A and B are shown apart, each in its own frame.
Chain A
């Protein structure tokens, strides 16, 4: 079993739908992240959770709502999305190490298409 598991792998939704992306890490890490990956653009950090507490929200629209019930699970709730939100959404985890070059472990992502 891989260290960071994301479901579903692919998701197609209409602009009025509500859906959720799920991420689970089996590495015992204490930090989890959501990234957005669009074609030919740098990865965009969306949210960061340290010890289940949200520490970063990089001006993400409210139609994206994260939830971190414990240090192993992370969700991204989606509603009334726009076509420009179509992208690969990557979850990652790390072990906080006082800034000593923390290594990110990524899941395989959810490829989201908004119609």
Chain B
């Protein structure tokens, strides 16, 4: 069994400030980890994913995430956010890498303020 916890349901932050969106997971097997983003009135799109190798993963739009096995975390970071980053962010885990076995978190709404 696997599960994902996104610790913050809403994160407001001022433009050009850094941001961290937290994600913790539990799984009895090796994991593949993902971050998806959903802009208003759109479907989700993949930001980045961790399969193996380097624990620091870089994604699109300047986002990166770090896999920490000991803390079972996969936090998402960006050093300087823009208004256009306002969206809902979903962390997801799969024990097999198959999309049909993805478990999503409940999402974090990031709101970037001017």
Contact = CB atoms under 8 A, between A and B. Distances in A.
Interface string A1-32: 00010100000000000000000000000010
How big is chain B's contact interface, by range?
20 to 34
Question: Looking at B32, B34, B44, which has the most chain A CB atoms within 10 Å of its CB?
Answer: B44
B104 interface: yes
A101 B97 contact: yes
A100 interface: yes
Given A42-B105, A101-B32, A101-B51, A92 B100 contact: no
A102 B36 CA distance: 13
A31 B100 contact: yes
A40 B9 contact: yes
A108 B45 CA distance: 10
B7 to A, nearest CB: 14
Contact of A108 (B36, B43, B104): B43
A81 interface: no
A90 interface: yes
A69 interface: no
B43 A55 contact: no
Contacts of A31: 99-100
B13 interface: no
Interface in A19-56: 31, 33, 40-43, 45, 48, 55-56
A74 B15 CA distance: 40
A104 B99 contact: yes
A48 B49 contact: no
A92 B46 CA distance: 12
A4 B45 CA distance: 11
A56 B101 CA distance: 10
Nearest to B33: A101
Contacts of A100: 51, 97
Given A6-B43, A31-B100, A106-B43, 9 more contacts: A31-B99, A41-B106, A92-B99, A102-B99, A103-B49, A103-B99, A104-B99, A104-B102, A108-B41
Interface of A: 4, 6, 31, 33, 40-43, 45, 48, 55-56, 90, 92, 94, 96-109
